[in-house]
Every structure is written in C-alpha cells, then in structure tokens.
C-alpha cells in the first residue's frame, strides 16, 4: 500500500492522495499517539500545574482531531457506502477513547488538584475559562462516578455514537431513493423555466428516456412546492419529504429516535441531572430548561395572534383564487408565494437574475472586506475532495494570511441536504507558532445548466451569508487554546455571527455591491430592493411559529422521560399542539428526519436560533445607528465577539461589544410583532 498521506506531516488536507483504506490505520495510529500524550501528563512526576496539566491536555490529540475533521466532513459532504461502514466502526472507538480520557482517574486527579489549588489571580481570563471547562468536562462526563457507573456510561456513549450515524445514513438514503418522474408537460405548470431545465437534466442523469425528475434535495424540492400548480403532485412530494425514516422498513428511524432519546435521558440521570436538557443547558446562556420554555412561551404569545391573522389571510386568498376550503401543509409555500407576489409584486424569479452565485460570493467577500479588512484570493494550488469545491486564501489588511477557505455549493448524491460551516483545522497558538484555521462552508444551491449560471433565490442568498458569518467566526479567531477558538462557544451564542450577517442582504448599500443582472450587469433596481425590505417580515408570525414548534419538539424529546412513548406521531402532535396551525398530516413524522437534534449538535438547543435572533437584531441595531459599514462598530464586533471565541462567558463578551445586555425590542420590531 502507498504511504499513508494522513500519517505524514501536512498543512492542507491531502484530499487527492487519500484513499478510503487510509482512514482506519490513520485513526489507529493517531489514537495511540493521543493516548501516549495523555500518559505523559498522568505519569509526570512533577506537581500538577496549569501548564503541565491543563495546557498539555488541551494541546493533546491534535493529529487525531485533524484526521477526524477530514473524515467526518467527507462523510457529510462526499460520502459513499465504504466511508459509512468505516464511520460505523471508527465512531465507537473514538467514543471509547474520549471516555478513556474523561474517566481516567489519574488524569482527573491532576486536573482537580490544579482546579482547587491554582491561584486564579495568576491566570488570564482565557486561562481561567480553560481551567473551568477542563474541570467541568470531567465532572460533567462521569469522572466522579463509581466504576460500575463509568462502565455503564461508556456503553451508552458508544451506542449513541453508532445510533447518530445510523440515523443520518437512513435520512440520506431516503432522500436519495425518492424521485418524482413527470412525463406530462402539463404537470409542470407554474414552474419557472430554469427549474424545468434542471429537472430535465436530472432525468437524463437518472437515465430516463424523457420527462423531468424532481428529488428531495432542496434546490429541487423547495421550488416545486413553491411554484407547481398541480396540488396532487405537491402533496406527493411533501409526503415523501415528510415521511423520511417513517416507512417501517430497513431505513426506518422510529426505534433509532426512541433509543437515542432514552439513552440521553439515562446518561443524564447517571450524571445526576433531571433530564438531558438539564444537562445540556447548564453550559448554555439560557442555563436551564425552565428558562428556555419561558423564552419560547414569551415568543409564542407574541407570534400566535400574528400567525393566526396571517393564516386567515392566506386561507381567504386560496379560497378566492382556487376555491380551496382548507389549506394543507403542501399548500403553504405555493399560496404564500402567490400572495407575496400579489401584495408586493415580487417573486424569486424576478430576483434570481440579480443573484448569480459568483456575484453573491464576491458580494459577501466585499462585505467582509469593508467591515473587517479581509481580502480573498481564489487559488488552484489547494487540493479538494470534489471538483465543485472552490478554495480561497484569506488575507488581512497587513497582507498576512489569516485563513484558508473552502466553499462547496451544489448538491450531489453523496452529500447531505442543508447548509453548514465546518473546519479542517482550528486556530490556536503553540510553542510560539500561530496555527491559522482552515474553514469550509457547504451548501446545496442549484447547479448551472446549459443555458443559465447558478442563480440563487433570495433565501439562498441569506443562507450563503449565514454560513459565511459562521466562517468569519472561524477565520478571525484569535485565541491561544484550540478548544476555546472560533465557534467553540455556547451553542445559543454560536448563531449570532451567522444571523447578524444576514441583515446585510436587506440593505441597499450592501446589495448594490453585488446584486447585478447576470446578463446585462445592471445593478438591482432600488424599487426591487425596497420590495425586498417591505416583504422581509411577510408571514413572519407563521415562520416564527414554525421555528417555535421545532424548538418545542426538541424540548419535549429531551426535557421529559422518553421511556413511555408508544407512538412517536402522537407524541409529536402533543408536543407541538400550542404552536400548530395546520391539520395533522397522516403518514408524516418530523422526528425521524430531524437531523439537527438526532444527528447534529442541536439536542436541547434548537431554541438557539430564536435566542440568537434576539442578539443579532439588537447587535445590528447598533450598526444601523452609525452605518452598516462603520469600521468602529465592526472593530468592536471583531474584537469582542469574532476573535474571542469561547474565552469568556458570552454575555460578558456581548456587553463589551454593545455596552449593555441585549433587549428583545429590536427583534419584535424587525419581525413586525411589536
């Protein structure tokens, strides 16, 4: 076998040389290296100190972390059955190793000794935070349990690691397996030509002799639900999307979901917590399940009257136009788009010509340049895992390279749905050397066709800005310790940098930088910009209710005992009853494809999106006071939010930026709920 590229020193991920068979041996070697680094700490005969114990622990396992980031990012963005099999085998080993650390009594004894004896006055704020987090990572993960309970914790964690992977594989397989093959052109009525063309290309890819194929990938699913006049086909596609993992077959996720929830509850109970939510939220800005539920109820009280009023208007519009007596969930996107067009004379097809993907990328780069002085240079000398992936070197005002940036924008069979930011290497400082981050964003935007470039909907524009906001959090990180760097912050704080950047999509001063017609080069007319702003909170009450329903479902799964749930569908219906506007749809289930909470890191944390909206609206109001490109405010945001990572408590950092605690007023005003 060729020399393993993962076991030779590398700066950038050596994608072109990595073969699947390299991963398992690389993991085995890296785990052993990390184990030796831990042993060096525990066998140190010197008195435990911050440097020889806490710092040494944070710097351990760097090689393992890099291999893990490469592997699991590929499993999300460019997977195949072999990678999925490796993931199923390696995940329990990684979990076992992580437990070997947190349940290592000798290591905990040293950490505890430093925690109890260290003179806090001698530590920087960042060092104090690191010490506190390291101690809690042990105490919150079983270090003080009995030997029997430690063994039980190990079993739970290893099983959870496998179940989360299994959940994601089932959802991806369900998504890839479905296709809506249309052969009658009349069934395409209402769909824009660009979407029809993309569906024809998809049909050829799937070796159909004719017709058009629509899938459950967002660039196909979303426009079909929004524009297709054929209500029965909208229903069919909606049911396919809403029933992923809910078919009682080999890809069914009902038992997977139940087991994940039960094991999380058992794990929390073992550690002395009332619920998984109580365990998770102890380390969040919200602090407790009660605070989250109170926050959700406060928003529900504001949003519900507005949502009911909006629904009544939408229902009446559908009745007048098509004689529809009762709206169903597969009708909302279609009639919302029709009503929006009627009220504001605006639809996505008017806007898309002004949002060519390459121009929007250039626009978000320009915004980052005006705010933070960054420059982006596309490069072809960096290896990628797929030809679609673009790479950029990022420089600051002094022409110092601050980051490497990967961007992966289009759907394909081995890539999961949605959009996310991730990293291949974090930022930290070690032995006098500064290690700069390698950051990536992954999206699923419509691919270019024979006749058109990739043209984005306005929602996709805000998605790109959102993920790029996360990327800035990673790129501009400036901390000493890798575990406190970039997006390593409280989960209900991590969405602030991403959500605040979306605000620039609605501002004339920002849009005119990049919103240019792909054929004529004409800057987007200001009357369209005004329509975008006027329609920005269109049906905001209904949208808020939808987000609240997801957050309430998340809390229902994780803030109560899940061992007595005979019927997942009935459980869901009950959990979202307060926020439900539409009749229940038989045969669908949110939980069995709710990857955010059962595969990703949002369990007991979905409320974070709304929580962070309070922060982002309040923070952007600060920019608006002086100008959206005001360098003084931007500097404060970079200095106290983006560069600081998790080095101090989020509220302390926010107050330094804003001069006070956040207020909900700006969000309610922006949403039209005040």
Specify the pLDDT at position 208: 95
Cβ proximity of 173 and 81 under 8 Å: no
- Average pLDDT of the residues in 639-656: 97
Distance CA(400)–CA(586), nearest Å, equals: 57
Output the pLDDT for position 164.
96
Q: How confident is the model at residue 399 (pLDDT cuts 50, 70, 90)?
A: very high
pLDDT of res. 641: 98
**Are 306 and 627 a contacting pair, CB within 8 Å?**
no
What pLDDT, on a 0 to 100 scale, did the predictor assign at position 600? Answer: 87
Contact 233, 241 (CB under 8 A): no
Considering only the C-alpha atoms of the chain, give the largest distance between any 2 of them, rounded to a whole number of Å: 82
> What letter would DSSP give residue 523?
B
Per-residue confidence (pLDDT) for residue 126, from 0 to 100: 97
Q: What average pLDDT does the structure give for the chain?
A: 95
Active site residues: 467
- Full set of structural domains in the chain with CATH: 5-144 (1.20.1050.40), 178-242 (no CATH), 353-536 (1.10.1370.40)
Check: CB of residue 156 under 8 Å from CB of residue 263.
Answer: yes
Convert the pLDDT of each residue in 27-42 to its tens digit: 999 999 999 999 999 9
Residue-wise pLDDT tens digits, 141-191:
999 999 999 999 999 999 999 999 999 999 999 999 999 999 999 999 999
- Report the SS3 class of residue 455: strand
Q: Which two tokens stand for residue 171?
A: 């959802």
Average pLDDT over residues 540-547: 95
Burial of 468 from C-beta contacts in 10 A (0-12 / 13-18 / 19+) = buried
CB 167 within 8 A of CB 598: yes
Per-residue confidence band for 465, with pLDDT thresholds at 50, 70 and 90: very high
Give tens-digit pLDDT for 81-131.
Answer: 999 999 999 999 999 999 999 999 999 999 999 999 989 889 999 999 999
State the average pLDDT over residues 559-578: 92
Q: Work out the burial of residue 587: count CB atoms within 10 Å of its CB; fewer than 13 is exposed, 13-18 middle, 19 or more buried.
A: exposed
- Contact yes or no for 671/310 (Cβ under 8 A): no
Within 10 angstroms of residue 209's Cβ, the number of other Cβ atoms is 7
Quote the CA–CA distance of 297 and 275 in Å, as a whole number. 20
b/e 605-631 (16+ beta carbons within 10 angstroms → b):
bbbbbbbbbbbbbbbbbbbeeeebbbe
- Main-chain dihedrals φ then ψ at residue 274, nearest 5 degrees: -70, -25
pLDDT-derived band at 328, boundaries 50, 70, 90 = very high
Q: What is the dihedral of CA 57, 60, 66, 69, to 10 degrees?
A: -30
- pLDDT given for residue 564 in this prediction: 85
Residue 1 pLDDT > 60: no
How many Å apart are CA 68 and CA 90, to the nearest integer? 10
* C-alpha distances out from residue 491 to 429, 550, 646, Å: 24, 16, 10
Instruction: Supply 190's token pair.
Output: 């209402």
CB atoms within 10 A of CB 115: 20
Q: What pLDDT is attached to residue 349?
A: 87
Query: Is beta strand 390-395 parallel, antiparallel or unpaired with respect to 401-408?
Result: antiparallel
Place of tokens 């999106």: 609
Separation in Å, CA 211 to CA 74, 199, 205, 411, 428? 33, 8, 12, 21, 53
Q: Other C-beta atoms within 10 Å of 205: how many?
A: 10
pTM of the model: 0.90
| 209 DSSP 8-state letter | S
Q: pLDDT for 587-621, tens place per residue?
A: 999 999 999 999 988 999 999 999 999 999 999 99
Structure letter (DSSP) for residue 379: E
> How are the residues of the chain apportioned to helix, strand and coil, as percentages rounded to the nearest 5?
60, 5, 35
Rounded to an integer, what is the distance from CA 209 to the centroid of its chain? 38
What mean pLDDT is predicted for residues 328-338?
Answer: 96
């Amino acid at each position: 076998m060729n020399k393993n590229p993962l076991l030779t020193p590398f700066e950038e991920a050596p994608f072109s040389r990595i073969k699947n068979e390299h991963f398992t041996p690389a993991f085995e070697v890296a785990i052993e290296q990390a184990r030796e680094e831990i042993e060096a700490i525990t066998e140190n005969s010197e008195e435990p100190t911050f440097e020889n114990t806490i710092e040494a622990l944070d710097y351990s396992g760097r090689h393992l972390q890099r291999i893990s980031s490469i592997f699991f990012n590929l499993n999300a963005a460019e997977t195949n059955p072999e990678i999925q099999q490796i993931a199923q085998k390696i995940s329990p080993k990684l979990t076992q190793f992580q437990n070997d650390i947190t349940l290592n009594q000798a290591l905990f004894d040293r950490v505890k000794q430093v925690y109890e004896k260290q003179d806090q006055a001698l530590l920087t704020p960042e060092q104090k935070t690191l010490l506190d987090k390291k101690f809690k990572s042990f105490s919150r993960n079983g270090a003080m349990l009995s030997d029997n309970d430690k063994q039980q914790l190990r079993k739970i964690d290893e099983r959870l690691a496998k179940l989360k992977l299994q959940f994601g594989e089932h959802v991806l397989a369900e998504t890839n397996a479905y296709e809506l093959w249309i052969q009658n052109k009349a069934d395409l009525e209402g769909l824009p030509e660009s979407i029809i063309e993309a569906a024809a290309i998809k049909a050829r890819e799937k070796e159909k002799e004719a017709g058009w194929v629509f899938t459950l990938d967002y660039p196909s699913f979303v426009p079909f639900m929004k524009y297709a006049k054929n209500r029965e086909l909208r229903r069919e596609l909606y049911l396919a999307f809403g029933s992923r993992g809910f078919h009682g077959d080999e890809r069914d996720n009902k038992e997977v979901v139940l087991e994940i929830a039960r094991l999380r509850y058992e794990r929390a109970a073992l550690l002395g917590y009332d619920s998984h939510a109580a365990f998770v939220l102890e380390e969040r800005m919200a602090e407790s399940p009660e605070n989250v539920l109170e926050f959700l109820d406060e928003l529900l009280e504001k949003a519900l009257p507005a949502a009911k009023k909006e629904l009544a208007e939408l229902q009446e519009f559908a009745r007048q136009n098509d004689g529809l007596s009762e709206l169903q969930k597969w009708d909302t996107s279609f009639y919302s788009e029709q009503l929006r067009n009627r009220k504001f004379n605006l639809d996505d097809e008017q806007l898309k010509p002004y949002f060519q993907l390459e121009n929007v990328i250039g626009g978000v780069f320009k915004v980052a340049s005006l705010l933070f002085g960054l420059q982006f240079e596309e490069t072809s000398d960096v290896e990628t895992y797929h030809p679609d992936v673009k790479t950029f070197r990022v420089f600051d005002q002094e022409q110092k390279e601050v980051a490497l940036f990967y961007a992966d924008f289009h759907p394909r069979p081995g890539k999961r749905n949605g959009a996310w930011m991730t990293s291949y290497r974090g930022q930290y400082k070690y032995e006098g050397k500064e290690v700069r981050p390698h950051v990536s964003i992954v999206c699923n935007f419509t691919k270019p066709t024979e006749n058109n470039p990739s043209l984005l909907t306005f929602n996709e524009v805000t998605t790109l800005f959102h993920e790029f906001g996360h990327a800035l959090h990673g790129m501009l990180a400036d901390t000493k310790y890798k575990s406190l760097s970039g997006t390593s912050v409280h989960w209900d704080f991590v969405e602030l940098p991403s959500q605040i950047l979306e605000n620039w999509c609605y501002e004339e001063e920002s849009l005119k930088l990049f919103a240019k017609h792909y054929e004529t080069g004409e800057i987007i007319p200001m009357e369209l910009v005004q329509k975008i702003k006027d329609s920005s909170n269109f049906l905001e009450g209904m949208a808020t209710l939808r987000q609240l329903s997801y957050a309430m479902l998340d809390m229902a799964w994780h803030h109560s005992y899940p061992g007595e749930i005979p019927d997942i569908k009935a459980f869901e219906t009950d959990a979202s009853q307060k926020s439900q506007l539409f009749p229940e749809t038989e045969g669908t289930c949110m939980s069995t494809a709710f990857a955010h909470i059962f595969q990703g890191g949002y369990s007991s944390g979905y409320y974070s999106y709304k929580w962070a909206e309070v922060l982002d609206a309040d923070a952007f109001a600060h920019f608006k006071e002086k100008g959206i490109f005001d360098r003084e405010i931007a500097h404060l945001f970079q200095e106290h939010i983006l560069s600081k990572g998790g080095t101090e408590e989020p509220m302390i950092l926010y107050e330094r930026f804003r001069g006070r605690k956040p207020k909900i007023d700006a969000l309610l005003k922006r949403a039209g709920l005040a």
